[in-house]
Copies of this chain bind each other. A is one copy, B any other.
Amino acid sequence: MNKEQDLDVILLGRIAIDFNPIEIYCGLEDSQTFKKYLGGSPANIAVGLARLKQRVGFIGMISDDQFGKFVLHYFEKEGIDTSHIVKARHNENLGLTFTEIKSDSDSSILMYRNEAADLKLEVSDISEHYIQRAKYLVISGTALSQSPSREATLKALYIAKKYHIVVVFDIDYRSYTWNHHDELSIYYSIIAEKSDIIIGSKEEYDLMYALEGSNLTCNEIAKKAQASGSQLVVIKEGKDGSLVYSANEIYRVKPIPVKLLKSFGGGDAYASALIYGLLMKLPLADTLLLATASASMLVSSHSCSADMPTIEQLEQFIQEKLKTMNADNIVWSL
């Protein structure tokens, strides 16, 4: 290990505030009371990794107001390094996500993303020295959706490659942030070609490879990604779980049944446990069991960040579940 690598993982991208209604299972227009949570996919994963005792850093932009202060306090409390989270320069706000939970399977969101701070990150905010300090760099695809955040992200990628830092690409597609499908195909491809690990849904891979051909099967997707050098390709298929391609093996991962509260948040929990397992060099099957367990825990809770489990909570949850089901029915090699 490079002795400068005093961080396990640095994440780059969006930090937001989630407002989740207390009066759930009704339209958002009728919700009257809201709870405020830290949100944004890479921010959630950062919290997840910190709870799993990894040394976590973050590159991002926050608002220069009370909500920005809330984020900093929150991250500091979780032990996340905030030295490279910069403040908005032109009164940009943090993005907001008001969630509408109509039923356990019908959730939607109302976004405040106009002039959002996270997309104003600039190339000059990216420090070569900071990135060198990490073993892993996690790039969130929404950071690519607009300039100047797009170029800041590409700069971070180039620096990571220069120092042979493991690059994780979490595609995290959000339809409202992109101008044209071709643009996301282009930028997703540029990142994917240089990523060691890619995490996305089948639909996200289809969008990524749309310029080069379409209607790819999961196997074809994995082959394409591996051809340009990716070591691990995770393809999520919603309620069917996920397919995970390593160099030599393919795993099928099933969700662990729980009482659903909401239909989102699971992906971020999955990603944080997956990256944890990789950093800890756990066997891949064990890593994937942690990942799917963490996802199940999150979709049965009210928040996406505050409810991220510790390793003890994860293990206890798995132990509990394994009383009634077999691990081989959750994760198995094809």
The chain A residues found within 8 Å of chain B, CB to CB, are 19, 22, 27-36, 65-67, 69-70, 73, 91-93, 96, 98, 100, 110, 112, 114-115, 122-124, 126, 147-148, 151, 154-155, 158-159, 162, 176, 179-180, 182-183, 185-186, 189-190, 211-212
Residue of B whose beta carbon sits closest to that of A74: B29
Could you say which residues of chain B place their CB within 8 Å of the CB of A73?
Answer: 29
Q: How far is the CA of A163 from the CA of B154 in the complex (A)?
A: 26
Residue pairs across A and B with Cβ atoms less than 8 A apart, 23 shown, are A28-B67, A29-B73, A31-B36, A33-B35, A33-B36, A66-B110, A67-B98, A67-B110, A96-B96, A96-B112, A115-B115, A122-B180, A123-B180, A123-B186, A126-B182, A147-B147, A148-B179, A151-B186, A154-B186, A154-B190, A158-B186, A158-B189, A162-B211
Q: Are A211 and B159 in contact (CB under 8 A)?
A: yes
Copies in the complex: 4
Q: How far is the CA of A28 from the CA of B67 in the complex (A)?
A: 8
Q: Sorted from nearest, which 8 A-B pairs have the closest CB atoms? A: A114-B115, A28-B66, A123-B182, A29-B70, A29-B66, A29-B69, A154-B186, A114-B114
Q: Are A114 and B100 in contact (CB under 8 A)?
A: no
Q: Are B115 and A183 in contact (CB under 8 A)?
A: no
Could you say which residues of chain B place their CB within 8 Å of the CB of A65?
Answer: 110
Q: How far is the CA of A185 from the CA of B148 in the complex (A)?
A: 14
User: In the assembled complex, how far is the CB of residue A36 from the closest CB belonging to chain B, in whole angstroms?
Assistant: 6
Q: Are A123 and B28 in contact (CB under 8 A)?
A: no
Could you say which residues of chain B place their CB within 8 Å of the CB of A33?
Answer: 22, 33-36
User: In the assembled complex, how far is the CB of residue A93 from the closest CB belonging to chain B, in whole angstroms?
Assistant: 5
In this complex, which of A151, A185, A212 has the most chain B Cβ atoms within 10 angstroms of its Cβ?
A151
Q: Are A93 and B67 in contact (CB under 8 A)?
A: no
User: In the assembled complex, how far is the CB of residue A1 from the closest CB belonging to chain B, in whole angstroms?
Assistant: 23
Q: Are B32 and A36 in contact (CB under 8 A)?
A: yes
Q: How far is the CA of A19 from the CA of B154 in the complex (A)?
A: 37
User: In the assembled complex, how far is the CB of residue A108 from the closest CB belonging to chain B, in whole angstroms?
Assistant: 9
Other A-B pairs, 15, CB within 8 Å; known A67-B98, A147-B147: A19-B19, A22-B33, A27-B69, A28-B66, A29-B70, A32-B36, A33-B35, A34-B34, A34-B36, A123-B183, A148-B179, A155-B182, A158-B211, A159-B211, A162-B211
